[in-house]
Every structure is written in structure tokens, then in C-alpha cells.
Amino acid sequence: MEPKSSSTLAPLPEENQNQDQNQNQDQDHPPTTAPSAFSSKPIRPPTQTSSEKYSPLDWKGYFDQEDDVCIPDTNDVFHIYTAGKEGPVVFCLHGGGYSGLSFAISAKLIKEKARVVAMDLRGHGKSSTENEIDMSIETLCSDVVAVVKTMYGDSPPAIVLVGHSMGGSVAVHVAAKKVLRSLAGLVVVDVVEGTAMASLMHMQKILANRMQYFSTLEKAIEWNVRGGSLRNIESARISIPGTVKYDDSQQCYCHRARLQETEQYWRGWY
């Protein structure tokens, strides 16, 4: 005789009790499934508008203070940005058309080890001089020496001159004149004499073809970044506001430095 199938066997009392308990637990705690990776939207940062992306940044996040250096017996006033309290002075000279704020990001790092002075050269930034167009190498060098002497007198600290492009040429000429007795170092950036001289014939065309007016500071910053004048957006947001000024007659911003009127001095820079 064949045994009955297990399906026809009556369950033991213990099994009935366990099944009832399991059913009750399932009702109290329904089964859960792992959430799908696609069940919710990923968190994304808010999209920046053009005006937010290119909004100006305050220099105070990089330099400690700004000052005006009045040259005795003249009406010349040179604007400077300074940072740091100890160590040698890293004296920074910007390129043509820019300003002392070009060195903002560097100053934020350098000031941990040394002092920084970034100067607005004649005809640039917030500096004010009797002759904005006289940007001969002799005059630019004299301006730098006059600012150093006015700031530190006859006992200046150790100075490291740092110059970019036109400012590099000024730094080299100042060093060659041996008028800064405490000069301890010289750094020049992007000063290639042969290349620079060869490009001078195209400079007027380049200056004439660039955008001349900007409705807002944000537009000026954006134009410089998109055009390749500056590749670092943070640097552009700090420095570009110092390269333009507001024109009341045009009700917009224009370039601060009148470089097109200084052509007679260009060859002297190199």
C-alpha cells in the first residue's frame, strides 16, 4: 500500500501555531524592497545665471587693505593693495591694461610667508597722475621707485620685484638701474622680447577690434573670459572691475587704460 502524499497529512499543532505567527508578523510588517537608483531625482547644484557666474568679487577676500601713495611735490597718487605683515616685500607690477588686482589670488597665498604690495601703474586702476599718457619706460620706472621711497623711506625692507608683461619690463629696467639697494629678487612673467616686438605691429588693430563698451561689470568680466584674456574666472571676477571705469556720457563701462594713445612708448617697454 502506497503511503499518503505529504500534502494530505494533517499539520502538527506546532506548525499551525508557527504559520499563524508568521502571518501576523507579515501583516504588521509588510515586505519591503530595496529602493531603485532611479526612484528619485539626483541632487544637482542650482544653475547659475550668466550674471551670477561673472559677478564681481571683493578684493578684501584676498588683500588686507588698499591705500593711496601720494608722491611728494607732485599731484601723482598711486593706488596700492597690500597683504601680509612680516617678511620681505613682494612688489607686484601688472601688465598693460590690467591693474594691481591681477595678483589677488597669488597675494592670498604669498601673504602667509611674506608681504605683498600690488601697485596700479600710471594710467591704470585707481591711480591718478598729471599725465596719464606718458607711459615711457623711464617714467614707469621712476613711478615705481618713487612709490617704494615714499612707503619705506631710506631704509626699505628686502624687496622682490614681480612683473607681468609690461610690468615685467618695468621690473627688469628698475633692477638694471640698481636704484633699489634692498632688491633681493626679480621675477618676470610672460615677457618674451622677440615675440613681443613682432606683435607690436598688430597691437593697434587688436586694441581697435576689442569691445569698447559694456553695459555692466558682469558683461565686462564675461567678455574677457570668453575672449581668452583671462582663463581663470575667479581672477577675472576680482581684477576686471579694476580695468574699466564708468562713462557717464555713454552710461556704460569702458576701458580705463588709454593704451591706443601710448603707441610711441611701446618699443621702449622691450
Q: Among 190, 179, 135, 174, which Cα is nearest to 154's?
A: 179
Q: What are residue 187's DSSP bridge partners?
A: 162
Strand ranges in the chain using DSSP code E only, listed in sequence order: 65-70, 77-83, 89-93, 115-119, 159-164, 183-189, 213-214, 244-247, 252-255
pTM equals 0.79
H-only helix segments in 1-160: 13-28, 50-53, 104-110, 137-152
pLDDT at 267: 84
pLDDT at 135: 95
For 7-29, how does the pLDDT look when each residue is reduced to its tens digit (9 = 90+)? 444 554 454 555 555 555 555 55
H-only helix segments in 84-127: 104-110
pLDDT at 179: 95
pLDDT at 108: 96
- Lookup: cell for 220: 565686462
- Point out the residues of the chain with pLDDT beneath 50: 1-9, 12-13, 15
